[in-house]
Amino acid sequence: MTAPSNPMHDFGFDQGQGLEMGIYTLGDHLPNPKDGSRVSAGERVHEFIRYAQAAEQAGLAYFGLGESHQEYFASQAHAVILGAIAQATEKIRIGSSSTIISTSDPVRVYENFSTLDLISNGRAELVAGRASRVGLFELLGYDLRDYEELYEEKLELLLQINREESVTWSGNFRAPLNEAEVIPRPAEERLRIWRAVGGAPGSAIKAGLAGVPMVMAHLGGTTSVFQRTVDSYRQAAEHAGFDPATLPITTAGFFHVAETSQKALQNTYSHMNEGMIRTNGQGMPKQMYAQSVDPMSIANLGSPQQVIEKILHQHEVFGHQRYIGQIDFGGVEFADVMKQIDIIGEEIIPAIRKYTASSNQGDK
């Protein structure tokens, strides 16, 4: 399997600008645990669009929207919503926080995201995920026992479609292709495709062996634990003959800033706990969640200065190109999300840029 000569360049990363920041949502549609209120599905979809507009105005680099085909989510047709976002924005990169390739036809996924790329004038990206919530397997007619095989086969086909305009392919889970032309093609030569990776190194190793850029998502734990995943990714890439320095990495996880770390915990715990109960069937232990404000925690919760220091530490450890924060999970009110976006633009991004842009490295 081959890769672009320099994915770092193809993905538009300029090392001189330092660490990029963005936000994402999984598209959840949950009641506010404070009063049980819940906006309509239509209003929730329009909130996603307004998040992206606000993120662009605040100077963020990326907005991502996921899909999850079950109760308490509103973005099952995430590519359709991203099309609306493409029309409502001009500069910000847009894409999936995860497109569940395991239960989708790679041909249709490629058609959708190439079209999105054309609508957005080359701003689209695709994060290929395998599904942490597995109800969609039964809904869409797939056997959960094929979980790993479905993902690997369909991702391989998606990447082949991205490399080749005429595709000949055969596998176990869809009809073969014989010199198939998959159109439209994206604005540039290839679509920007990432592999979604969790905390364990296994999937990161596969991403590295294939020379595919990686989005590493995390719920919690220490930065040092996730360093092993990043190291495994780069070692695997080098072993397969790729230059790790050309393979971009994004990290993705919970984000919230408040006046103090305790206030950040108070603001978000009820949302996190209720959201986990409703979507995963198991809540978040309060004592475990309290560890999120620890300086070594991978979750970026705390005061603005604490979060800045955490992000800078993570960048020093990982050497990644982009961090995206999830700031709306668990029925967080729209006004609170918009406030977080403002803080990112006014306080977080300038500090991160100051200390990570190459022209300022000597000022650290």
Round the average pLDDT of the chain to a whole number and report it.
93
Q: Is residue 2 part of a domain?
A: no
Q: How many CB atoms lie within 10 A of CB 108?
A: 11
What does the alpha-carbon distance between residue 64 and residue 56 come to, in Å, rounded to a whole number? 12
Per-residue pLDDT band at 364 (split at 50, 70, 90): very low
Could you read off the pLDDT of 276-324 as tens digits, one per residue? 898 888 888 998 899 999 999 999 999 999 999 999 999 999 999 999 9
Long-range contacts, 11-15 (Cβ 8 Å, 24+): 11/125, 11/192, 11/213, 11/248, 11/321, 12/93, 12/192, 13/248, 13/321, 13/322, 15/321, 15/358
Q: What is the pTM of this model?
A: 0.94
Could you read off the pLDDT of 254-267 as tens digits, one per residue? 999 999 999 999 99
Q: Cα angle at 228 between 313 and 295, to 5 degrees?
A: 30
Q: What is the model's pLDDT at position 362?
A: 46
Is the torsion defined by CA of 275, 127, 47, 18 positive or negative? Answer: positive
Per-residue pLDDT band at 199 (split at 50, 70, 90): confident
Q: What is the model's pLDDT at position 360?
A: 53
Q: What is the model's pLDDT at position 1?
A: 41
Q: What is the model's pLDDT at position 2?
A: 45
Q: Which domain holds residue 227?
A: 7-363
Higher pLDDT, 342 or 139: 342
Output the CA–CA distances (angstroms, integers) from residue 13 to 56, 340, 348, in the order listed.
17, 25, 19
Cis bond upstream, residue 184 (ω within 30): yes
CATH number of the structural domain spanning residue 24 = 3.20.20.30
Higher pLDDT, 364 or 320: 320
Q: What is the mean pLDDT of residues 1-19?
A: 77
Cβ–Cβ < 8 Å for 42, 76: no
Q: Is residue 1 part of a domain?
A: no
Q: What is the model's pLDDT at position 62?
A: 98
Q: Is residue 289 part of a domain?
A: yes
Higher pLDDT, 364 or 309: 309
Cβ contacts of 316 within 8 Å, gap of 6 or more: none
CA atoms within 13 A on the CB side of 228: 9
Per-residue pLDDT band at 114 (split at 50, 70, 90): very high
Q: What is the model's pLDDT at position 5?
A: 63
Q: Cα angle at 7 between 209 and 11, to 5 degrees?
A: 130
Burial class (CB in 10 A: 0-12, 13-18, 19+), 208: buried
Q: Is residue 35 part of a domain?
A: yes
pLDDT over 90 percentage in the chain: 81
Asked if residue 363 has pLDDT above 50, the reply is no
For residue 76 the two structure tokens come to 């099952």
Q: Cα angle at 208 between 171 and 14, to 5 degrees?
A: 120
Q: What is the mean pLDDT of residues 235-250?
A: 97
Could you read off the pLDDT of 333-358 as tens digits, one per residue? 999 999 999 999 999 999 999 999 97
Asked if residue 201 has pLDDT above 80, the reply is yes
Domains identified in the chain, total number? 1
